[in-house]
Structure 1
């Protein structure tokens, strides 16, 4: 007799609830650092419009600016993850054997876009973005912007032991670069007076975690008369960043294009199959989703390399 009875369905529901709850509790970073795009096809053409007009005194006829479009196509990818569940354990109500497995499966699925995003960072030194330059490059040029670099270096006395003063200066150098980047019409991306630049995120390897926190998590930096208040970033450490001489400064303000793009085609779905079949000894728990990630606003992401 097939096992699709009320008790089996109840246990099946418990497993999916365990998965769904773990998925909900996961805290990925990709929504914070990426521009979210809803997709309704196999790919999407993503564009950025340049030559945004400034404000001028209206003398004579209006002067219309021609919008310059720079675009690229991002193809959606299909992702899956699957586990086998022993039918005897399932029928013997040993769901606790599989609860941790499903919780880990859910967490892995929820954080998978983070892995893709973090892998974009080191690859950005050798991967082209929409302007035909490497994402991290020393000579981004677009229209009348002039040559601009989001690939910075900072001289350190010992790259294996970065000091707090060196990290502070390198971080300030990166923030200053973000504030002075220009769009294709020669105007600054960020205009007007700024008392404090909020929505900063710092991505560091494990080796730089300590000095980053020691340097930037105190409101007052320095000692005595040298104390100054600095912009405090959110510090995120990743063991996927393996180069111990590099860190990344991101501006992730919601009002602006963020450094990367997350293109969502199909949200994650999950299914438990085999409940009403005795063909095999296993049940199958499967997930599926379609999405992709890519490079977007290089002017909101600065790579710093200690040399």
Structure 2
């Protein structure tokens, strides 16, 4: 095949179609636990997270609540995946060998939000959220007191008491959370997020009629189980409320993954190395929403 502009255009169209088809077909589940926030600048300011909005009775003048002194912003980052195509392979009509790479690039681009969001979960016991505390912490400031959304119990179905001490305690902790004014936040935990190592326990907790001690399972159907291979701890598990407009985690998107190419016949790479380039580029980042919507246990205590 003669390597010219027409041939390279045909190659681009073919690689782009393969990329886009793989992108569309790839599974993704970050939407289960995070919200999409479109971004139009280099950095988004999330200081507004310091206010958990609630309606209240209007008596005399409106009660204006100013932003707290917390500062929380998320800066977009650059992401890419690139495939090199040798000019000789185009001349010899062998560029089909790059089809698997184009497919994998499409899958990887589709799952970029998953990579970002579930990395946030993995680091949530250490990374800080809008109030300056770790997202999962025992001392989040609420008015003049503190509240905890962090536990240590292993997820268990061994006995009713063990289930209550793990999943039950997390559920109660979230449902009891209050605003700065002492009003219930009406948290409704609906997602039990676990790594593969805890999938069987979590699914059993949500589906079986009786626990291992023979007692009735009072938590059957209480939440949807979400399992993700990207969770790095075999012991940590998470209970989330994703029923509200704001989600526990944020996927901030400045530029969606886009298929790009470098096929200029006069480029240095082509002249010196006989290489054309195809790939994808994106700009995005992740961050933490309301800590009040999530409970994390490191599973360190039986």
Q: Normalising TM by the smaller chain, what interval?
A: 0.7 to 0.9
1:107, distance to aligned residue in structure 2 (A) = 1.2
1:227, distance to aligned residue in structure 2 (A) = 5.0
CA 1:118 to 1:181, structure 2 compared with 1: closer, same or farther past 3 Å? Answer: same
Query: Alignment partner of 1:214: what SS?
Result: helix
Map of 1:177-196 to 2, 5 A cutoff?
177-190=173-186
CA 1:291 to 1:206, structure 2 compared with 1: closer, same or farther past 3 Å? Answer: same
Residue 10 of structure 1 is matched in structure 2 by: 10
Segments of 5+ residues of structure 1 without an aligned counterpart are 192-196
**Structure 2 residue 204 is the aligned partner of structure 1 residue 214:** yes
CA 1:291 to 1:53, structure 2 compared with 1: closer, same or farther past 3 Å? Answer: closer
CA 1:297 to 1:53, structure 2 compared with 1: closer, same or farther past 3 Å? Answer: closer
Segments of 5+ residues of structure 2 without an aligned counterpart are none
Map of 1:82-231 to 2, 5 A cutoff?
82-143=82-143, 146-154=145-153, 163=158, 165=160, 166-167=162-163, 169-190=165-186, 197=188, 200-218=190-208, 220-222=209-211, 226=216, 228=218, 230-231=220-221
Residue 77 of structure 1 is matched in structure 2 by: 77
* Alignment counterpart, residue 62 of structure 1, candidates 55, 60, 63: 60
Provide the rounded CA distance (Å) in 1 between the counterparts of 2:53 and 2:89: 63
CA 1:260 to 1:236, structure 2 compared with 1: closer, same or farther past 3 Å? Answer: same
1:80, distance to aligned residue in structure 2 (A) = 1.4
Q: CA RMSD in A?
A: 2.8
Provide the rounded CA distance (Å) in 2 between the counterparts of 1:2 and 1:98: 17
Query: Alignment partner of 1:183: what SS?
Result: coil
CA 1:216 to 1:169, structure 2 compared with 1: closer, same or farther past 3 Å? Answer: farther
Residue 289 of structure 2 is matched in structure 1 by: 296
Q: What TM-score do you get using the length of structure 1 for normalisation?
A: 0.82
Residue 194 of structure 1 is matched in structure 2 by: none
Deviations 1:154-187 (A, max 9, x none): 2x6xx9x973753565222222222111122221
Query: Alignment partner of 2:5: what SS?
Result: coil
State the number of aligned residues. 290
1:27, distance to aligned residue in structure 2 (A) = 2.6
Query: Alignment partner of 1:117: what SS?
Result: helix
| 1:52–1:185 contact (8 Å) kept in structure 2 | no
CA 1:100 to 1:167, structure 2 compared with 1: closer, same or farther past 3 Å? Answer: farther
| 1:131–1:142 contact (8 Å) kept in structure 2 | no
Provide the rounded CA distance (Å) in 1 between the counterparts of 2:93 and 2:240: 48
1:150, distance to aligned residue in structure 2 (A) = 0.5
| 1:267–1:289 contact (8 Å) kept in structure 2 | yes
Provide the rounded CA distance (Å) in 2 between the counterparts of 1:295 and 1:53: 20
Query: Alignment partner of 1:48: what SS?
Result: helix
Query: Alignment partner of 2:141: what SS?
Result: coil
